[in-house]
Amino acid sequence: MSVWKYEKTRVMTRRMIGLAVLFILMGFVIIGRLFYLQVLQGEKYLLLAEKNRISVRLTMPSRGTIYDRNGVKLAENAKTFQAVLIKEEAKNYQKTLDNFLKLIPLEEDEVERIKKELRWKRAFMPVRIKDSLSFDEMSLLQLNAPDLSGIQIEEGMMRFYPAGTGNTHVVGYVSLLTEKDVEGNTSDPLLDLPGYRIGRTGIESSMESVLKGTPGMRKSEINAMGRTVRILEETPPISGGDVFLTIDSRLQNYATRLMSQYAASAVVINVQTGEILALVSTPSFDANLFTVPISVKNWNKLLHHKYRPLQNKVLSGVYSPGSIFKLVVGLAGLESGVITASSTVDCKGKTKLGNHLFHCWKKNGHGPLTLEEALMHSCDVYFYEMAQKIGAEKIIETARKLGFGEVVGVGLNSESSGLLPTEEWKLRRFNDAWRMGDTLNLSIGQGFLNATPLQIATAVARIAGGKNIHPTLLKENIQNNSEPLDFKPYYLRLIRSGMYDVVNKRGGTAYAVRINVDGQKMAGKTATTQVRRISMKEREEGVKSQDDLPEKYRDHAIFAAFAPTNKPKYAAVVLVEHGGGGSRTAAPLMKQLMEYVLELEKSDEKELKNELF
């Protein structure tokens, strides 16, 4: 072998070994990296791969139904049809949207939302164009289907309130979530569901936890585009529980119609069981307005209405109970022994306390009166005089037993506790001692004292039935065996007898509204509560007629009643804001309401008999 060849072979062999070493090193790099990725980091990457492929979606549970006492549906889930646009199925989705808007115009901010969603949502995800299509709209869309490629009609569930606007304040409404609802509340998976509607007011809100149900879960495998390939695991949603109420939707709607001209409240309670048959606040509104996002126009209309339709006045409106509180004072007097059935006070039209005069509503006085007569005529002086002897403490104690000053707890969230003033409270609030003048104001239900129509009705129901009932809207809370009230039955009978005279004795403040439904009579008590103070000057000039005053200065009119008088079953309160006078405005409404209650009972009984035979 020649020298050059020998030399070349030697160099090449040596360098081949060098190259082999380099390749082995490269091989170790590869194997090392494989080991790092697959063994050391394997679990991490396995998790990431799972996260890639699995999508967990929640499915909506159907919300519980709300029934009234007779099984009438007050809130239910109605099938609705909504139009959605699927981008990838449209030839030209912008054109489709334009065509749609030509057929069914939408509000501007809705169009903005749709355009935004069309921009960011994936091509196969449906974008909601319009909820709850009417029949006409559906047929319109079907007729023009060729121009609407990509539009699909989907079936959806929607909250629907079929039983009339009279139930709105009890049932409440649901609406879509806002950012505030989601903030700070991460535990409830329902809040992540698009299209989930939460209870805002009424039973919908207070019974939210029962009604909402548990969302189902769908675990599906998705590909890199986000499209579902197959469903791996599915847990069906659990429907929300139904809620059964004590209210009678016929009565609700009747009372609402009856009082629709006023800012008024009405409550009807079964005095034996605490069932609330009616809880009405007017004016009312249609809860269905809220299930589709309410328009700004409608919202402003409700918000700025002078009669505050959005407020449930029965629960959260606080008023001086006025003369109705005389029932409480009378009872306190009997209990403390200050008042007996025959003890009298001579009313001369005013009572002097120090150098301050307290006037009776009847300028010239009633003359000598017993307790029953004082209630019948609603004499102020009788109670001024008696209250001084009874003392504020006893009156307050009695009022508390009847339910003043604390929340009743009917099953709704927005109840106000009213105010039952005490010595201690006054000291804390005004840094001032309790004075006899305060006692006198208290004795006729004025002054610091205030209460909700619901509290007034509770007190009247307890007096009428003699049972310590706790009014409720929920059937599950009905008390069939409540304990008797902590008062002597005889005293309660005396008070009831006074209330009987108010309505059924000539000269009683509500004689005009006496009723007779198959011999069943009503007893009651009027109240007219001042919204403004009457000055001495005015009193001298003669108190102005209520009709001459601007509406906002007119007195509130209250009438509390129970029926039938021989065996009390129903207690009711009607309160008309700025109604003028208890006997003039509230009492006639009560007459119609109570008559309707009794007629309703009669017809229901008849129906039951017919069914039996």
Residues near other proteins, by CB under 8 A: 2, 4-5, 7-8, 11-13, 15-16, 18-20, 23, 26-27, 29-31, 33-35, 37-39, 41-46, 48-50, 52-53, 221-225, 229
Residue count (the chain) = 613
155, containing H or E segment:
strand 151-160
**Least separation, in Å, of the C-beta of 222 and other proteins?**
7
How far apart, in Å, are the Cα atoms of 199 and each of 171, 211, 524, 590?
10, 9, 37, 32
Which three-class secondary structure state does DSSP give residue 409? coil
Residue placing its CB nearer to other proteins in the complex, 35 or 553: 35
- Lookup: tokens for 66: 């709300």
Name the residue nearer to other proteins (CB basis): 33 or 352: 33
The least distance separating other proteins from the CB of residue 225, rounded to whole angstroms, comes to 7
Nearest to 243 by CA among 459, 434, 74: 74
Q: 5 or 119: whose CB is closer to other proteins?
A: 5
Q: How far is the CB of 57 from other proteins (least distance, A)?
A: 17
Residue 344 neighbours by CB under 8 Å, 6+ apart: 368, 369, 370
By C-beta, is 13 or 516 nearer to other proteins? 13
User: Rounded to the nearest whole angstrom, what is the least distance from the CB of residue 4 to other proteins in the complex?
Assistant: 4
Q: How far is the CB of 110 from other proteins (least distance, A)?
A: 31
Of 33 and 79, nearer to other proteins (C-beta) is 33
Q: How far apart are CA 200 and CA 179, in angstroms?
A: 14
- Residue 151 has φ and ψ, to the nearest 5°, of -80, 130
Adjacent-strand bridge partners of 278: 268
Rg (the chain; Cα; Å)? 36
H or E segment and range at residue 228: strand 228-235
Q: How far is the CB of 49 from other proteins (least distance, A)?
A: 4
Residue 447 DSSP code: T
- Give me the least distance between CB of 197 and other proteins, in Å please: 34
Cα 139–chain centre separation: 37
State whether the Cα torsion 517-610-473-301 is positive or negative. negative
Nearest CA to 416 among 276, 318, 281? Answer: 318
What tokens appear for 411 in the block?
Answer: 């099953």
Instruction: Give the nearest distance from C-beta 176 to other proteins in angstroms.
Output: 30
- Crossing angle (nearest 10°) for helices 392-402 and 453-465: 90
DSSP class of residue 91?
S
Which one, 50 or 486, has the nearer CB to other proteins? Answer: 50
Q: Give the nearest distance from C-beta 14 to other proteins in angstroms.
A: 9
Nearer to other proteins, 49 or 357 (CB): 49
CB-nearer residue toward other proteins: 42 or 162: 42
Shortest distance in whole angstroms from residue 21 CB to other proteins:
11
Measured from the CB atom, is 188 or 221 closer to other proteins? 221
Torsion of CA 475, 480, 481, 485, to 10 degrees: 80
User: What is the nearest approach in angstroms of other proteins to the Cβ of residue 230?
Assistant: 10
3-class SS at 373? helix
Nearer to other proteins, 54 or 103 (CB): 54
Half-sphere exposure of residue 160: CA atoms within 13 angstroms, side-chain side: 12
Query: Which residue reads 């902590």 in tokens?
Result: 486
User: For residues 526 and 559, what is the distance between their CA atoms, to the nearest angstrom?
Assistant: 5
DSSP, res 129: E
Closer CB to other proteins, residue 51 or residue 91? 51
Structure tokens at 447: 């002054």
